[in-house]
Amino acid sequence: DTGVSQDPRHKITKRGQNVTFRCDPISEHNRLYWYRQTLGQGPEFLTYFQNEAQLEKSRLLSDRFSAERPKGSFSTLEIQRTEQGDSAMYLCASSLNAPAGARSNSPLHFGNGTRLTVT
Amino acid sequence: LAKTTQPISMDSYEGQEVNITCSHNNIATNDYITWYQQFPSQGPRFIIQGYKTKVTNEVASLFIPADRKSSTLSLPRVSLSDTAVYYCLVGDRTGGFKTIFGAGTRLFVKA
């Protein structure tokens, strides 16, 4: 288990630029999640995938945000025309969605995030 | 989605047992209770999950009363390295991934 990997760890960009982050989940996990965390607050849910299908998006995810998970493996989160308010830690997590009725539970496994600073 | 209430912060000393209580009055029948730990500049890390009564692993214990309206995370003999933010989440089997994490409980362990 190599854990959830995120790249880059830090990104500084100027307002108006586009940025893209990558997340590599734990290989056998079929669910992948994106969260945003600002200083002093807990993570806020943005969106999640089951395999390659994006099943839900939070209202926090404006039209400038887009996420993909081609082939159900790694995922990318793109922010277009960044704003200073986008400055935050962007966290990725993965989990295994156990079959219905299974006794085992599958909590979230988080990466260490990408810290975005928009100047 | 069940809302949780935790103390904002707690202080302790090395070697002491720390108990952090979380209230979740609106927990649903199918909800599990999950606790995460987060250090600065890292993602949250799963600690323990339970549904009822008591769960124990190598890191912590989780006590859940019969009415399941609260739960207590117990950390035995804390060390300085246990200084972190602890989040209580209530939700489905994946740990309530859409649940608002809230600000969590900031635990400070002193020497």
Q: Going from the first residue of chain A to its last (119 residues), give the mean pLDDT of each consecutive group of 10, the final group possibly shorter.
A: 90 98 94 93 91 88 93 94 97 81 70 97
Helix (H, G, I), strand (E, B) or coil at B8: coil
A60: amino acid identity, one letter: L
B99 CB neighbours in chain A (<8 A) are 45
- Is the CB of A48 inside 8 Å of chain B's CB atoms? yes
Task: Quote the CA–CA distance of A102 and A92 in Å, as a whole number.
Answer: 25
Which DSSP category does B5 fall into?
Answer: B
pLDDT for res A9: 96
E-strand ranges in chain B read: 9-13, 18-23, 32-38, 45-50, 53-56, 61-64, 70-75, 84-91, 105-110
For position B99, what pLDDT does the model report?
Answer: 65
Specify the pLDDT at position B93.
58
Q: What is d(CA A39, CA A19) in angstroms, rounded to the nearest whole number? A: 20
| Mean pLDDT, chain B cut into blocks of 10 residues (111 residues total) | 85 97 90 92 92 94 96 96 94 63 90 94
Of A7, A93, A75, A112, the residue nearest B99 (C-alpha): A93
Report the pLDDT value the prediction gives residue A72, as an integer from 0 to 100: 85
The closest alpha carbon to A86, from A69, A111, A65, A66, belongs to: A65
Nearest-CA distance from A46 to chain B in Å?
A: 8
CA dihedral B21, B22, B24, B27 (to 10 degrees): -90
Say if CB A4 and CB A113 are below 8 A apart: no
pLDDT at A96: 83
pLDDT for the residue numbered B97: 64
Q: Which residues of B touch A97 (CB under 8 A)?
A: 94
Position A1 scores a pLDDT of 53
**Residue A101 has what pLDDT?**
58
Q: Is A86 helix (H, G, I), strand (E, B) or coil?
A: helix
